[in-house]
Amino acid sequence: MGAKIKGSEILLKALTEQKVDTIFAYPGGNIISVFDVMMDYRDKINQILVRHEQGAAHAAEGYARVSGRVGVAIVTSGPGVTNTITGIADAMLDSTPIVVIAGQAASTALGTDAFQEVDLVGITQPITKWSYQIRRTEDITMAVAKAFYIASTGRPGPVVLDFTKDAQAGLAEYKPYSIDYIRSYIPKTDVSPASIEQAAELIDNCRKPLVLVGQGVELAGAQQELQDFIEKGNLPAARTLLGLSALSSDHPLNMGMLGLHGNAAPNVLTNQADLIIAVGMRFDDRVTGVVANYAKKAKIIHLDIDKSEIGKIVPCDVPILGDCKESLPMLTARIKKNSHADWIKEFAPLAQKEKELVIDKAIAPASGPIKMGETVHQVALQAPDNTVMVTDVGLNQMFAVRYFKYRSRRSIVSSGGLGTMGFAIPAAIGAATGAPERPVIMFAGDGGIQMTMQEFGTIMEYHIPVKMVVMNNHYLGNVRQWQHLMFNDRYSLTHMLSPMYQDIAAAYGFDYIRVEKRQDLEAGIKAMLAAKGPFFLEVVVEDEENVWPMIRPGSDVDQVYYGPQD
């Protein structure tokens, strides 16, 4: 028998067994013994002290999204772990693999309302792939191995480990635990050849196909497989918000972004298509508009690794269950080469209309205040091709995703399903840590940045070279736009004052430029991108700018509103 060691050390050994290289953490009483052992692992694991536990969860998300590895957060019990709930829910909706490890009161005290005791398993079961309480030291290696296996396989997602204080302090022999099978958990199934045949027949005989590309392509690492598929069939494709970098912005078959503020051509022509091929996307309500009227002329082929998503919202004619990195090559091998030239031509007039009515005004205004669209466009023109773009939530997000350019894989980190304001700063920290060789540019509004601004301390302490673009319009812009459209300009609690960001940047030691005039924008961006360390670029933008086009609530996906025209 080997020597027995404390459970807290067993945890760190188990994490190194999973090849964990970074931990985002915040200490506390019920996890303190783990942090004591972490001192001995500083040369093996990069340990980052965040300023709030929500930041730990979002940073783990950003790390996972760009690296493709599991992000890890370690926090204490009670408020420490309840502060991570937003990040855990965000990770669940956006299929992001993270493991949150939290301290807990001793197992003998459970149920007594002990200090900082909370029913973490009960709270997180609905928003995790797996939530497990470790009560015995002997179970630590098993729990860690299962956590990482479940988080990273199949449709990825968050896992929570609730680690009791006595399990941390107990003694046991360290026994490495590996796992590639759990009886009740089937991460993926073999792709059905019959489904491939049925889908190929529909693809070969359709006249107006449209491929909908979701984040599942990125998660599967199937970007090249997707490209091979659409190129052989000459199939026009459109991307969801989280799938934007799964297909290069410059690809000739890329017809734009789907959804609420997506591009007009793919939205309008969705309801003209006779075949929809959905790849790794879930038919979110922001994509479908009124579901009853969505793609009524089309047969639906749905490729997804998660059985529960197929047919959940939109009825499916041919389901292809499995990993799209496997199913796409099978389809590509089976389909015929095709042209669809006449159908593809139908996208151009709609794209031109949007360019004239919306895009030209957004990115190259003739006069007036600086606009968000032109700010993002100017950054995109200067940013390197391998840039990771991180967004907050709101108008800044919509303008950023519309007008940035995506030329590299895993280039967008944004909160999609949950729409979490305050996401950007900690997620950018995680992204820069997970891909230190890539530039990270963060777009935020003056509302979202104030929600997690304490994480500037993390950026300062670890000198994380995040480039922060804050587009300041003195409003909670997205809500204000809805108040403008649907509530007669009754701007209830959406106008807000901002602090002196110059003083805040100085307090944290960030290089800072404030741009108020259009003629200074290009130079400000150039200075930001040239900076070696973190940089805060504040751009004062039009206060009541709206983002267009828009599928208004209660409208069909082809009922595109281009905004008021002069």
Which residues have CB under 8 Å from 492's CB, separation 6+? 483
**Average pLDDT of the residues in 22-30:** 98
Backbone angles phi, psi at 130, to 5 degrees: -160, 135
Min mean pLDDT across 18-22, 182-186, 302-306 is at 182-186
Is-contact 100 143, C-beta < 8 A? no
* Beta strands 4-6; 171-173: pairing state: antiparallel
Report which DSSP code applies to 315.
-
Distances (CA, A) of 27 to 24, 64, 167: 10, 22, 17
Structure-block tokens of residue 21: 């290289």
Do 217 and 146 share a structural domain?
Answer: no
Distance CA 415, CA 56 (A): 15
CA distance 441 to 428: 8
Q: Shortest CA distance to 329 belongs to which of 219, 215, 188, 231?
A: 231
**Is the residue at 36 inside a domain?**
yes
- Given a cut of 80, is residue 1 above it in pLDDT? no
Evaluate whether residue 241 is within a structural domain. yes
Q: Where are the alpha helices (DSSP H) in 18-136?
A: 32-38, 53-67, 79-82, 85-93, 120-124
Give residue for tokens 């009740």: 184
Residue 90 sits in the same domain as residue 26: yes
Q: What are the percentages of helix, strand and coil residues in the chain, rounded to 5?
A: 45, 20, 40
Does the pLDDT at position 566 exceed 70? no
Residue 42 to residue 423: CA distance in whole angstroms: 27
Examine the domain organization and report whether 474 and 524 are in the same domain. yes
Q: Is the model's pLDDT at 210 over the cut of 90?
A: yes
Q: What is the DSSP letter of 358?
A: I
Is 492 among the domain residues? yes
CB 234 within 8 A of CB 339: yes
What digits encode the pLDDT tens for the residues 336-361? 999 999 999 999 999 999 999 999 99
Measured CA to CA, the distance from residue 228 to residue 328 in angstroms comes to 9
| Residue 521 shares a structural domain with residue 469 | yes
pLDDT (0 to 100) of residue 2? 79
Q: What is the pLDDT of residues 145-189, one digit of tens each?
A: 999 999 999 999 999 999 999 999 999 999 999 999 999 899 999
Looking at the fold, whether 108 and 236 belong to one and the same domain comes out as no
User: What is the C-alpha separation between 541 and 370, in angstroms, rounded?
Assistant: 5
What residues contact residue 218 under an 8 Å CB cut-off, 6+ apart? Answer: 242, 243, 245, 246, 280, 409, 410
Report which secondary-structure segment, H or E, holds 5.
Answer: strand 4-6
List, for residues 233-274, the tens digit of each pLDDT value.
999 999 999 999 999 999 999 999 999 999 999 999 999 999
Q: Is residue 184 part of a domain?
A: no
- DSSP secondary structure, 481-527, as one string: HHHHHHSTT--TT-B-----HHHHHHHHT-EEEEE-SGGGHHHHHHH
Domain final residue, candidates 142, 173, 204: 173
d(CA 536, CA 355): 31
Pairing of strands 412-413, 388-391: parallel
Distance separating alpha carbons of residues 356 and 351, to the nearest angstrom = 9
Give CA torsion, residues 109, 111, 113, 115, to 10 deg. Answer: 40
Are 209 and 292 part of one and the same domain? yes
Angle between the N-to-C axes of helices 521-530 and 372-382, in degrees from 0 to 180, rounded to the nearest 10: 40
H/E stretch holding 556 reads: none
The CA distance from 436 to 477, in Å, is: 32
Q: Which of 139, 173, 207 is the last residue of a domain?
A: 173
- Residue 547 domain-assigned? no
Shared domain for 201 and 331, answered yes or no, is yes
Q: Looking at the structure, do residues 216 and 323 belong to the same domain, yes or no?
A: yes
Domain assignment present for 381: yes
Report pLDDT digits (tens) over 115-124. Answer: 999 999 999 9
Return mean pLDDT, the chain.
97
Looking at the structure of the chain, the number of domains it has is 3
Q: First vs last Cα of the chain: how many Å apart? A: 82
Q: Is the domain of 432 the same as that of 491? A: yes
Please report the pLDDT score of residue 565 as a whole number.
87
Residue 156 and residue 18 in one domain: yes
Q: Each residue of 368-397: pLDDT tens digit?
A: 999 999 999 999 999 999 999 999 999 999
DSSP 8-state code for residue 557 = T
Tens digits of per-residue pLDDT, 486-514? 999 999 999 999 999 999 999 999 999 99
Order of strands, edge to edge, in the sheet holding 71-75?
Answer: 46-49, 22-25, 71-75, 98-104, 159-164, 130-134
- Residue range of the domain that includes 342: 193-347
Task: Name the E strands within 56-158.
Answer: 71-75, 98-104, 130-134
With tokens 């997000």, the residue in question is 397
Amino acid in the structure at residue 514? R
Q: What is the CATH number of the domain that holds 315?
A: 3.40.50.1220
337 and 376 both lie in a single domain: no
Say how many CA atoms lie within 13 Å of 335 toward its Cβ.
27
Structure token pair of residue 9: 């050390």
User: How many whole angstroms separate alpha carbon 393 and alpha carbon 451?
Assistant: 11
Residue 564 lies in a domain: no
Q: Does 37 share its domain with 168? A: yes
Distance from C-alpha of 336 to C-alpha of 90, rounded to nearest angstrom: 40
Q: Give the end of a domain, one of 314, 347, 380.
A: 347
User: Does residue 188 belong to any structural domain of this protein?
Assistant: no
Task: Specify the pLDDT at position 255.
Answer: 98
Parallel/antiparallel/unpaired status of strands 535-540 and 467-472: parallel
| Token pair 């039009």: residue | 542
State the Cα–Cα distance between residues 385 and 330, nearest whole angstrom: 31
> CB burial class (10 A; 0-12, 13-18, 19+) of residue 181?
exposed
b/e per residue 265-297 (b: at least 16 CB within 10 A): bbbbbbbebbbbbbbbbbbbebbbbeeeebbee
The CATH code of the domain that includes 160 is 3.40.50.970
State whether residue 284 is helix, strand or coil. Answer: coil
* d(C-alpha 104, C-alpha 23), whole Å: 19
pLDDT digits (tens, 9 = 90+) for 37-90: 999 999 999 999 999 999 999 999 999 999 999 999 999 999 999 999 999 999
